[in-house]
Amino acid sequence: MQEFLESFMSSGPLVVFVFSIIPLKIILVYALFAIWLERKVAGHMQDRLGPMETGGWHGWAQTIADLLKMIQKEDIVPAKADRFLFKMAPFIAFAASYGAFVAIPLSSGYIGSMIDVGVFYIVAITSLLSVSIIMAGWASNNKWSLLGAMRTAAQTVSYEVPTVVTILSVIIVTGTLNLMEVTEMQSGNGFLGFLPNWIIFHSPFMILAFFLFFIAALAESHRVPFDLPESESELVGGYQTEYSGMRWGLFMLTEYADMLLLSLVGATLFFGGWNSPFGSFMDGPLWGAFWMLLKGMVLVFVMMWLRWTLPRLRVDQLMNLCWKYLIPLSFVNLVLIAFWEMIFK
Amino acid sequence: MATLKEKSPEVTVTPPVSAGNGLKTQEMVVNMGPQHPSTHGVLRVQLTLDGEIVVSAVPHIGYLHRCFEKHCEAMNDYNKVVPYVDRMDYVAAMNNEHGYALAMERMMGIEVNDRVEHIRVIMAELQRIASHLLAVGTFGLDIGAFTPFLHCFIEREKILDIFEKASGARLLYNYIWIGGLMNDVPADFKKDTTDFIASFRPQIKELNDLLSHNKIFVDRTANVGVLPDKVAINYGVSGPSLRGSGVKWDLRRDDPYSIYDKFDFDVIVGEGKMGTLGDCWDRYIVRVWEMEESLKIIEQALDSMPDEGDVHESIPKKVRPPAGEIYCRTETPRGELGYYIISDKSTSPYRVKARAPSFVNLSVLPAISVGAMVADMVAIIGSVDIVLGEVDR
């Protein structure tokens, strides 16, 4: 795609610029859509309709209206807050999740950067998110925020272990960390004659690996039942308590961007990324982007579904689940997948 | 000479303790409320925290104080007190009115006819269901489950519709008067109530599937905030919070008032099915099954309700009780609501004191929350089910 852009744009920096803001556009449009969708999903699950008025058709413009409202709001910084850290935190949070999109192959024709350590890079840069949340919680000078931030630190650090181990078990199969190559390996419909060559069908343990990955991803993106950092009924708003206006909006955007990011990583690692499920039918760079986003959105929808169904875990139960179940299981699974590879390859 | 305004007591926090690795730890004092999403109104709980563990919890009340007693004395009319009792436990106004009307009728020796008694019981039980729906719904919300809360509210709305048809109001009804009712129920009252019962029964099952037996919900509420029966009795806890600890005490059965002795219903008690007896889950599940029992009472009352009878028949022209005093207690959704009324033979009460169950139940909070986590605090407050309007009055 870079060559394609270069063919009709002469200046190099412009090409790089256009090239690099594509994920940003996708995130923004997606966030507007996903927040609206979340409301509709919540509404219909609760026997309501959700937004119906703004914009006419099923309140499609509700998020845009909210965004406009949020931009106009006063930007309040608490008097005793650490102003610099307080103002920086939302930007770092968003930068962390935006930066990770660079290694995701959105279609066969687009990947931000063909880095060889793709997955590793994503895992590393998303860790910045917990730094920004601790910054936000501590700089707010509010005890509820601090409690939320401390929970986040514990949660993110713990759940990174099962995430990385499950990713590692996929890497055993693929033999590469580059997500573009991981996706290319999953092309074709050879499995059992008709099923696509997705990694999730590779072995029974892969299905377990996916579930472990998905649970850990839920915790990493702080979604229910693991939304302890901002658990509104306990910690008022957690690390977001003192934020208002667009700074709060950025945290919100980050949450949704993170959901998409982890869903896309999941789709790439387990569900064939931009590959069409019908072999060469509906295949190609544009269809690839469609399939990629569709697979991502399905996982995002599952996250919403869980959010409006389940209660929230307590912080010690969260740690129990991670250290007593997810981590041992994911390690055992890793070993089993390694054996499977040795025997059947 | 003492100063007019006493200095507020200093908050005592233990000095920093060395954790042994060069770091020092210190307890933290946090105000939970009055602006906190899960304190069910304007309760302030002063928490001393060791990390996330609660070292002590001190409830501070008075943010919703509206001088109930003084208002009653100044109303110059016993009838005008009824709207004020509505505003105590504002999610169970019918039960408050019922208790007050009973107390006044006993004081004045008024007998009301059977139709009035039946309508009162049906209204009180419908209100009990509505109040329990709110309690279990918001309890789920405190634990983080949003959806059951709205499902509960849909059902509650149906009850409020029935009340609206009868009294014209949806929250504070002023419907049960001394010696009768504001007006008779509308013609389709029986049909509306029967329809509600038919549609509500399956919803209890759904609530159990969605929330009560949810693994996460059980984990969050079982073995949390355990209230042993002896402690509960010592603190004077009543209502579902007491029955959650396994004490079979229900004024409708043990000290029957109105016509409750005619009906056949069970007193639900906690069994410690999911954990320790008297934990948050027990208190929660008692409320869920009490709704079923209330449905039973309503069905029986609908069957035996006479079609004839003037609801204004025994309303006194002028309420002027003989000099004396009375204590009359009833079972509201939150426990024993007692009215202590003193009359000096004038048209104005000398004193109306309410023994509010929420107030007494709240007093047990410091005893059961030590050692819990911050998230458990929310569950404990939710499971004791207080209404701040009644705590502060």
DSSP string, A150-216: HHHHHHHHHHHHHHHHHHHHHHHHH----HHHHHHHT-S--BTTTB---GGGT-HHHHHHHHHHHHH
pLDDT bracket for residue B19 (50, 70, 90): low
Put simply, the answer to whether B147 touches A46 (Cβ < 8 Å) is yes
Residues of chain A with pLDDT under 70: 1-11, 190-193, 230-233, 345
Tell me which residue has tokens 């959650």.
B244
User: Model confidence over A143-171: pLDDT tens digits?
Assistant: 888 888 888 888 888 888 898 899 888 88
pLDDT for residue B5: 54
Specify which residues B57 forms β-bridges with. Answer: B47
* A234/B28 CB distance under 8 A: no
Do the domain assignments include residue B56?
no
Query: What is the rounded distance in angstroms from the CA atom of residue A335 to the CA atom of residue A293?
Result: 32
Q: What is the pLDDT of residue A23?
A: 78
Q: Which ranges of B20-67 would DSSP assign to H, the alpha helix?
A: none
Q: CA-to-CA distance for B178 and B341, rounded, in angstroms? A: 14
What's residue A205's pLDDT?
86
Q: Which among B37, B142, B150 has the least Cβ separation from residue A236?
A: B37
Q: Residue B111 domain-assigned?
A: yes
pLDDT at residue B257 in the model: 87
pLDDT value, residue A332: 92
Q: Which residues contact B298 (CB under 8 A, 6 or more apart)?
A: B122, B125, B126, B193, B197
As beta bridge partners, residue B355 has: B338
The whole-angstrom separation of Cα A171 and Cα A185 is: 12
Angle, to 10 degrees, between the axis of helix A128-139 and the axis of helix A118-126?
10
Over the range B158-197, which residues count as b (16 or more CB within 10 Å of their CB) and which as e? Answer: bbbebbeebbebeebbbbbbbbbbbebbeeebeebbeebb
- Domains identified in chain B, total number: 1
Residue B214: domain span: 68-392
Local structure of A333: helix, strand or coil: helix
Amino acid A8: pLDDT: 56
ipTM: 0.80
Binned at pLDDT 50, 70 and 90, residue B11 comes out as low
Let me know: does A109 contact A80? Beta carbons within 8 Å. no
Cross-chain residue pair A310–B142, CB shorter than 8 Å: no
- Residues with Cβ within 8 Å of B37's Cβ and at least 6 positions away in sequence, in order, are A232, A233, A236
* Chain-chain contact of A236 with B151 (C-beta, under 8 angstroms): no
Give the pLDDT of residue B12.
60
Neighbour-count burial of B26, counting CB atoms closer than 10 A to its CB (0-12 exposed, 13-18 middle, 19+ buried):
exposed
Measured distance CA(A242)–CA(A77) in Å, rounded = 8
- Residues of chain B contacting A234 with CB distance shorter than 8 Å: 38, 374-375, 377-378
Residue bearing the bigger pLDDT, B33 or B202: B202
CATH number at residue B78: 1.10.645.10
Is B164 inside a domain boundary?
A: yes
* A317 vs B contacts (CB less than 8 Å): 219-220
Tens of pLDDT, residue by residue over B285-323, are 999 999 999 999 999 998 898 888 888 888 888 888 888
pLDDT band at B1 (very low <50, low <70, confident <90, very high): very low
Interface check B219 vs A, CB under 8 A = yes
pLDDT of residue B327: 92
- Least confident span in A123-137, A171-185, B16-30, B56-70: B16-30
pLDDT at A176: 84
Residue B267 lies in a domain: yes
B288/B131 Cα distance (integer angstroms): 11
User: B267: which 2 tokens?
Assistant: 């007193």
Instruction: Please give, rounded to a whole number of angstroms, the shortest distance from the CA of A159 to a CA of chain B.
Output: 18
Length of chain A: 345
Beta bridge partners of B50: B53
CA distance B225 to B383: 9
In a domain, B231, yes or no: yes
Q: How far is B30 from chain A (nearest CA, A)?
A: 7
In a domain, B22, yes or no: no
Please state the rounded mean pLDDT for residues B378-382. Answer: 88
Q: Hey, are the CB atoms on A46 and B28 less than 8 Å from each other?
A: no
Measured between beta carbons, which residues in chain A are less than 8 angstroms from residue B376?
Answer: 314
* H or E element at residue B30: strand B28-32
B263 lies in some domain: yes
B24-28, B202-206, B328-332: which range is least confident on average? B24-28
Q: Which long-range contacts (CB under 8 A, 24 or more apart) does B184-193 make?
A: B184/B119, B184/B311, B185/B119, B189/B162, B189/B165, B190/B302, B190/B305, B192/B161, B192/B162, B192/B165, B193/B122, B193/B126, B193/B162, B193/B298, B193/B302
Beta-carbon contacts of residue B314 (< 8 Å; ≥ 6 apart): B110, B111, B112, B113, B116, B179, B180
Tokens read off for A251: 């945290």
According to the model, what pLDDT value does residue B180 have? 86
pLDDT tens column, B196-222: 999 999 989 888 888 888 888 898 888
Name the residue ranges covered by the structural domains of chain A.
76-344
